[in-house]
Amino acid sequence: MGRIGDTEPGNVAERIIREVYTLCRENRAGELADYIPELAAVEPDEFSLCVATSDGHVYRAGNADTVFTIQSISKPLTYGLALADHGVEAVARKIDVEPSGEPFNEISLDPLTERPRNPMINAGAITSASLIRGADQAERFERLRRCYSTYAGRELTLNEDVYASEARTGHRNRAIGHMLRSFDIVEGDPDLAVDLYFRQCSINVTSRDLALMAATLANNGVNPLTRQRALAPELVERVLSVMTSCGMYDGAGDWIAEVGLPAKSGVGGGVLAVLPGQIGIAVHSPRLDSHGNSVRGVQACRELSRTLELHFMHVTRAGRSAIRTSFTVADMQSRQRRNAAEMATLATYGNRARIYELHGDLLFAGAETAVREIAEHGTDLEALVVDLRRVDEVSDVARRMIDAQHAELAERGCQAAVVDPGGLLGHTTSALTPTAESGRVFTDLDVALEWCEQVLLDRHCTDERSPETVTLTTHPLLAALPADQLERVTATLEPRTHARGETIVRRGDPATGIFLILAGRVSNLIADGTGVTHRISTLSAGMTFGEMTTLTGGTALGDIRADTAVRLAVLSPAAFDALTASAPQLKSTLLERLAAGAYAQLATASRSVALRGAVL
């Protein structure tokens, strides 16, 4: 057999899991637990292996529906519920979190702290059980059973035989209970705590259940199939920490070095392992090694960790800056069309407005590098945009770092904004500084670009801005026409007005004429395959639309919508056609001007495609 999963096609994940299963099935080392007859009576070569993804897909090898008792794998779950019932501090006063280096059923406490060394040995687990809230024993057990069921995503039940057997023979655990009572670690009736512990260990599970429990822990405490929360995220962190240091009895160091996953085993032959944020693994095979861990369980986890590269100290790459790219308004402009004076201003001053596109998860290290890079290179900026559209998650510290940097930039006169359609920074409007202009939050890069342009134009282009209105004689399509030609055209133009928000041309409309904008702004909107609408361009007084359908006889590709109240003059298709015979010179002039306009738009679109190809 070659390297696992190396050869034929097919689902590699499935194949690797099957191959690990086949490899480990050969291993018949180890002995059954035999302290109660029910555990000694199981089929010793029973074996199943499940991997559950954080979207709830379960890969299975072997009989994943074989029922066995959860045994010690219950310990982290009960510990988690105790933490939820009392808080981390209160539980820490009862149970330490140190690896013990001693057998799991030792009747002793840490000699210095006089507490159970950790929640994964029996003394700590019985203490956890004693902390479960409930009016009576039945309610306490029902709370535990329901909690476990939430992890597994189905209703789990008690194995009465195993429970009866545990209860009949569990003198050592009763001794531990009374020892705990004598040190006031267990405060109520120790027999009740021990009884609850026997019950929790006797809950029936399958390896599919354990894999989903592990995936729930991997998924920050939420069951990936039912979406029900089993444990708060901060408690998941603590439970996984304790599983890391103490989960595999006194084989913890070897486990960390070889497997590198928080895990818990049980004498029923189960092993549960968690790759936080990613997957849950479960194995069931009843033969145990000298530590009390399933032989095949340990071997299968080791093989999976190696083959699937799951070890938590495995780093595929070292940290990198969260900045994916940056560019200035001189490199790329918004879809708001500008006049020549404005274009010239943006060409000159465009490098004073910079857009930083971040990506990945913004944890401390990535955010730190990004903020430092922005601080180093951003000293001459007048406007700055941080684009978070490609960021997946923002940690709390990263959020504060970005907010603080924006406030600081605002103080020295650089206006800052974010593109944050997902609300990752947690503020729809920012209150970083008293000025309303800083700390703006946009949902769209194009609008943010337009805002940057506005900031620069307001400062550097005060005289020659695009006119708010034009007349028929100053509209560029008609400007400087001979008087007779101008008169001939204007006679055929129809005036139109639209209120803000009205749709002037609808996608699919046939040739609707050539529209000259005399006042106001309109946007050209196109929907993509998924139904999301994109602004292709924004047009204002002195510009023209509708020429495309009129010239090509096609239908409108998108909607034209009034962004403000607009005043238009419309040259109907019939009137335009009539010019062919009656005034070919005039028509030629208009066509030349329209074509020039089309090419100017095409040039902008081409630049945008080139840059967006590189940048976006």
Which residues, numbered 185-244, are part of the site for a copy of itself (CB under 8 A)?
218-220, 222, 224, 233, 236-238, 240-242, 244
> Is 574 one of the binding residues for a copy of itself (CB under 8 A)?
no
CA-closest candidate to residue 25, choices 40, 42, 44? 44
Buried b (16+ CB within 10 A) or exposed e, 52-91: bbbebebbbbbebebebbbbbbbbbbbbbbbbbebeeeeb
H-state helical runs in 121-183? 122-130, 137-152, 160-169, 171-182
Point out which span in 169-177, 370-378, 452-460, 495-503 binds a copy of itself (CB under 8 A).
370-378
> Is 480 one of the binding residues for a copy of itself (CB under 8 A)?
no
Minimum separation from the CB atom of position 504 to a copy of itself (A): 17
Q: Which amino acid is at 22?
A: T
User: Which tokens belong to 50?
Assistant: 């499940």
> Is 101 one of the binding residues for a copy of itself (CB under 8 A)?
yes
Point out which span in 39-47, 191-199, 329-337, 470-478 binds a copy of itself (CB under 8 A).
329-337
By beta-carbon proximity to a copy of itself, the closer residue of 42 and 308 is 308
Minimum separation from the CB atom of position 331 to a copy of itself (A): 4
Which residues, numbered 481-520, are part of the site for a copy of itself (CB under 8 A)?
none
CA-closest candidate to residue 51, choices 43, 42, 63, 59? 59
> Is 605 one of the binding residues for a copy of itself (CB under 8 A)?
yes
Point out which span in 64-72, 327-335, 451-459, 538-546 binds a copy of itself (CB under 8 A).
327-335
By beta-carbon proximity to a copy of itself, the closer residue of 168 and 227 is 227
Cα–Cα distance for residue pair 109/183, rounded to 1 Å: 9
Point out which span in 200-208, 362-370, 464-472, 498-506 binds a copy of itself (CB under 8 A).
362-370
> Is 577 one of the binding residues for a copy of itself (CB under 8 A)?
no
Cα–Cα distance for residue pair 221/151, rounded to 1 Å: 8
Cα–Cα distance for residue pair 512/151, rounded to 1 Å: 61
Point out which span in 7-15, 66-74, 154-162, 380-388 binds a copy of itself (CB under 8 A).
7-15
Which one of residues 395, 474, 492, 564 is an interface residue with a copy of itself (CB under 8 A)? 395
Which one of residues 23, 106, 161, 360 is an interface residue with a copy of itself (CB under 8 A)? 360
> Is 67 one of the binding residues for a copy of itself (CB under 8 A)?
no
DSSP secondary structure letter of residue 565: -
> Is 250 one of the binding residues for a copy of itself (CB under 8 A)?
yes
> Is 312 one of the binding residues for a copy of itself (CB under 8 A)?
yes
Phi, psi dihedrals of residue 212, rounded to the nearest 5°? -70, -35
Which one of residues 93, 133, 320, 500 is an interface residue with a copy of itself (CB under 8 A)? 320
User: Which tokens belong to 386?
Assistant: 């941080």
Which residues, numbered 542-561, are part of the site for a copy of itself (CB under 8 A)?
547-548, 551-552, 554, 557-558
> Is 6 one of the binding residues for a copy of itself (CB under 8 A)?
yes
Residue ranges at the known binding site for substrate: 72, 122, 166, 173, 197, 249, 267
Task: Answer positive or negative: Cα dihedral of 605, 610, 615, 616.
Answer: positive
CA-closest candidate to residue 183, choices 224, 228, 124, 137? 124
By beta-carbon proximity to a copy of itself, the closer residue of 25 and 390 is 390
Cα–Cα distance for residue pair 337/168, rounded to 1 Å: 84
Build a one-symbol-per-residue string for 131-170: x at contacts with a copy of itself by CB under 8 A, - elsewhere: ----------------------------------------
Point out which span in 48-56, 185-193, 196-204, 482-490 binds a copy of itself (CB under 8 A).
48-56
Buried b (16+ CB within 10 A) or exposed e, 516-538: bbbbbbbbbbeeeeeeeeebbbb
User: How many binding residues for a copy of itself (CB under 8 A)?
Assistant: 142
> Is 584 one of the binding residues for a copy of itself (CB under 8 A)?
yes
> Is 106 one of the binding residues for a copy of itself (CB under 8 A)?
no
Other beta carbons within 10 angstroms of residue 561's beta carbon come to: 22
Buried b (16+ CB within 10 A) or exposed e, 152-191: bbbebeebeebbebbbeebeebbebbebbbeeebbeeebe
Widest CA span of the chain, in angstroms? 113
Minimum separation from the CB atom of position 157 to a copy of itself (A): 28
By beta-carbon proximity to a copy of itself, the closer residue of 112 and 491 is 112
> Is 431 one of the binding residues for a copy of itself (CB under 8 A)?
no
Which residues, numbered 254-293, are part of the site for a copy of itself (CB under 8 A)?
254, 256-257, 260, 262, 275-279
What DSSP assignment string belongs to 400-440? HHHHHHHHHHHHTT-EEEEE-TT-TTS-SS--SSS-TTTTE
Point out which span in 38-46, 458-466, 501-509, 607-615 binds a copy of itself (CB under 8 A).
607-615
CA distances from 418 to 220, 339, 374 (A): 28, 27, 14
Cα–Cα distance for residue pair 382/413, rounded to 1 Å: 7
> Is 405 one of the binding residues for a copy of itself (CB under 8 A)?
yes
CA distances from 280 to 149, 209, 295, 446 (A): 16, 11, 19, 41
Which residues, numbered 432-471, are part of the site for a copy of itself (CB under 8 A)?
446
CA distances from 351 to 321, 329, 346, 414 (A): 22, 6, 8, 13
Which one of residues 9, 111, 413, 434 is an interface residue with a copy of itself (CB under 8 A)? 9
CA distances from 298 to 152, 205, 539 (A): 22, 19, 67
Buried b (16+ CB within 10 A) or exposed e, 380-411: ebbbbbbbbbebeebeeebbebbbebbbebbe
By beta-carbon proximity to a copy of itself, the closer residue of 167 and 343 is 343
Minimum separation from the CB atom of position 462 to a copy of itself (A): 27
Which one of residues 165, 321, 415, 544 is an interface residue with a copy of itself (CB under 8 A)? 321
Which one of residues 27, 369, 503, 572 is an interface residue with a copy of itself (CB under 8 A)? 369
CA 510 to chain centre: 43
Which one of residues 180, 231, 310, 447 is an interface residue with a copy of itself (CB under 8 A)? 310
